[in-house]
Amino acid sequence: MFKNRRLLMTLVAFLAVFATAYAFIYYSDSSNRKSKKIDENGNIQLGHSSTNENGNNENINKEEIPPSPQPKREPVKVKGLYITGTSAGNKKFMEKLINLINTTELNTVVLDIKEDGKVNYLSGLESVMRIGAYHELYNVDEVIKLLHDNNIYVIGRIVCFRDNYLAGKRVDLAIKRKDGTIWRENGSIAWTNPYNKEVWKYNIDIAKEAVSKGFDEIQFDYVRFPAAGKNEVDYGENPLSKADAISGFLKEAANEINKMGAPVSADIFAIVCETPGDTEGIGQVLERVGMDVDYISPMIYPSHYANASHGMMGNGKGQSINGILFTAPDLKPYEVVYNVLLKTKDRISKVEGYRAKVRPYLQDFTASYLPKGYYQHYGPEQIRQQIKAVYDAGYEEWIFWNAANTYTESAFSRK
281-326: per-residue pLDDT in tens?
999 999 999 999 999 999 999 999 999 999 999 999 999 999 999 9
pLDDT of residue 70: 54
* CB 177, CB 232: distance < 8 Å: yes
In the structure, what pLDDT confidence band is assigned to residue 79 with cuts at 50, 70 and 90? very high
In the structure, what pLDDT confidence band is assigned to residue 5 with cuts at 50, 70 and 90? very low
Domains and CATH numbers, the chain: 2-55 (no CATH), 79-411 (3.20.20.80)
Q: Tell me how many helices (H) and strands (E) the chain has.
A: 11, 18
* CB 246, CB 223: distance < 8 Å: yes
Residues 48, 409: Cα–Cα separation, whole Å: 59
- Alpha-carbon torsion, ordered 278, 284, 285, 286, to 10 deg: -140
- Which positions ≥6 away from 177 have C-beta within 8 Å? 183, 232, 233, 234
227-286: per-residue pLDDT in tens?
998 889 999 888 999 999 999 999 999 999 999 999 999 999 999 999 999 999 999 999
Pairing of strands 189-190, 184-185: antiparallel
CA distances from 354 to 248, 345, 348, 350 (A): 15, 11, 7, 9
Residues 211, 124: Cα–Cα separation, whole Å: 13
From 221, 226, 279, 143, select the one nearest 401 (Cα to Cα).
Answer: 221
- Which positions ≥6 away from 241 have C-beta within 8 Å? 278, 283
Pairing of strands 361-363, 398-401: parallel
Res 30 pLDDT > 90: no
Per-residue b or e along 133-145, where b marks 16 or more CB atoms closer than 10 Å to that residue's CB: bbeebbebeebbe
81-116: per-residue pLDDT in tens?
999 999 999 999 999 999 999 999 999 999 999 999
